[in-house]
Structure 1
Amino acid sequence: MNAKHTRSQERILKLLKSLNRSLSAQDIYVELRNRNQTIGLATVYRSLEALKQEGSLQVRTLPNGESLYSSMQQDQHHLTCLRCGDSILIDECPVHQLERDLQRSHQFKIYYHTLEFFGLCTQCQLKTEVEI
């Protein structure tokens, strides 16, 4: 990980750590502007890409294509509804041993992993049954 960050990268990291939740690039831009920190949207995107490349933040892409960025350095696992977009965070992780094996067998430095299952939440299942 890079020890030297630009001022914009530092602002983004500080914001994500202080909020302790995932945000889209647009949300990061708005939040920084609301805090009177002048930054352009293109700079936000460039900074996020650089931080992602060095492993300083995590990125999760939603089914609608939107990316959410987080400073949390932990594995994240979700059940995501394809209809309403709700995501449920799950704690179980069946791939920790696989991650260690892959790092060892491929000499590949893994920063984090995500595991996501897509389907229908209970409410959307009920709506589907009613529509039939």
Structure 2
Amino acid sequence: MNAKEILIINRLKYSRQREALINLLQKESYPMTIDQIVDKLKEDKHPMNLSTVYRIVESLYEHDIIEKNYSSISNATLIQLHTPHHQHYLICQMCHKMFPIENCPMHTIIHSIEDSKHFKVISHSLEIIGICEDCQNKAQI
């Protein structure tokens, strides 16, 4: 689905800026910080003010078009398009490269919590921080 279709389906007004931001998130395979989004948009010849990007991100978030997750390693909120199957990542502490985890390891734990504690889990996030193979080799770890 292209950016215009996403905006129409969610009854959001079309703008070149919204289209550029959605296109960028569709193109990138990993979550990005707001600063990374601003830099990439500039590289792609779609420069935007930081405040404009924040406004668009908030609007897209309110309509469940994007997801926001806080990352302690980058000390920033990471933005990515909303997908039916959420994604977790391994994050290298040294180079900050992200590696997707194929299946959510939390489902079993969540079901156990819901059953034993009578607690309805609405959302969760998981951040696993370590050192990737390349950085281990460089640092001889």
> Same fold by TM-score, threshold 0.5 exceeded?
yes
Q: How many residues align?
A: 124
Which of 1, 4, 23 matches 2:12? 4
So what's the TM-score if we normalise by structure 2?
Answer: 0.61
Give, in whole Å, the separation in 2 of the partners of 1:126 and 1:61: 28
Consecutive unaligned residues of structure 1, counting only runs of 5 or more, are none
Distance of aligned partners of 1:107 and 1:69 in 2 relative to their CA distance in 1, 3 Å threshold: closer
RMSD, matched Cα: 3.5
Write out per-residue CA displacement over residues 34-77 of structure 1, whole angstroms, 9 at most, x where no aligned residue.
Answer: 33335222101121122223321122333121333222513112
Give, in whole Å, the separation in 2 of the partners of 1:118 and 1:39: 32
Give, in whole Å, the separation in 1 of the partners of 2:121 and 2:104: 22
So what's the TM-score if we normalise by structure 1?
Answer: 0.64
Identity of aligned residues (%): 23
1:64 aligned partner: 74
More contact order relative to length (CA 8 Å, sep ≥ 6): 1
1:34 aligned partner: 43
- 3-state DSSP of counterpart to 1:114: coil
Preserved CA contact (<8 Å) 1:25 1:44: yes
Give, in whole Å, the separation in 2 of the partners of 1:43 and 1:119: 34
Distance of aligned partners of 1:34 and 1:70 in 2 relative to their CA distance in 1, 3 Å threshold: same
Once the 2 structures are TM-superposed, how far is the Cα of residue 128 of structure 1 from its aligned partner? 8.8
